Structure 1
Amino acid sequence: MSKLIVIECSDEKSDRLAKQIKDIVAEYEYQPFRGPGKVYEFGPLRIDQPQQEVTIHGNFVSLSRREFQILGLFASHPSEALPCDFLHNAIWPHPDMEHGIEEVIGQVESLKKKLRLETLDANCRIIEENTQRGPGYRFAVSAK
């Protein structure tokens, strides 16, 4: 149930109070994922977060911003199952919980098609996996 509070004060005090409330709310606003600025190498796959570039065998791979962010999360959590809702909440600035899983699945499928890791002699793969929180993905990395 919503509650309403009425506060009587001067204009000066109301402006100050409004600013304080905005500052408090801003502290808790969701901040989308921003990679730590590392360079990851998994066999022929190279993810350069500072330059926002992905290459395979030295060849540039064009990714959308969201695909790049998802790949950055995978690289920073190798061999860890990441639920779709985690990926969605970490990357989308205003997550749409109703369509979030479909958005993530679409982005990851597009990412997989662009990288084609399964066709390369790469030591990493993006694997669909069921997690305790529902569908998700694992960036499987093996030693070669």
Structure 2
Amino acid sequence: MAKIMKIMVMLLVPLGFITTVGVTAQAKAQSTPKSIRGTWYQYRGKNKFFVIKITKNNVYVNSKLTYSTKKSGANKIFIQSLSKKVTHGSGVSYILNGHYKYEYQTFGEFWLSKEKISNRRVLKNYHHMDHYNVFTKNKIKHNYSYHKDSFKDIGR
């Protein structure tokens, strides 16, 4: 009987290591990536700015809480990361409320661009009909947003 127990233990212990070593925990995507956190500005003319403030658990648009971990439905923050395969090799872009049902419920895709303004990288956003929004970390009185008839620039 003791020999049978030893054999069973010798077989089960390595089997336990094999089945548990390869398991990795998947974190819920409910906090924003550090690369896009902060306060971002877009000049709208006449000394007015469109302001997006991205914190770990909240997104404020013009000082109004828009997405949060405490909200529900399309306003609950859920980060959907779009890989380089989706953006055709350019970079990772993010949708801040990945649980939306209709396109109008989202602000589109956000990504930290490699382009720089005033020696700082800019946050870009694509939303509806070929319009790219450009946000800067500093209040700069120039709107760098543009229109382009191509999806190839998403993530660049």
TM-score tier, shorter chain, comes to 0.3 to 0.5
Instruction: Give the structure with the larger strand fraction.
Output: 2
Which has the higher relative contact order, 1 or 2, with Cα contacts under 8 A spaced 6 or more apart? Answer: 1
Task: Pick the structure with more helix per residue.
Answer: 1
Query: What TM-score results when the alignment is normalised by the length of structure 2?
Result: 0.37
TM-score with structure 1 setting the length = 0.40
Q: Which has the larger radius of gyration?
A: 2
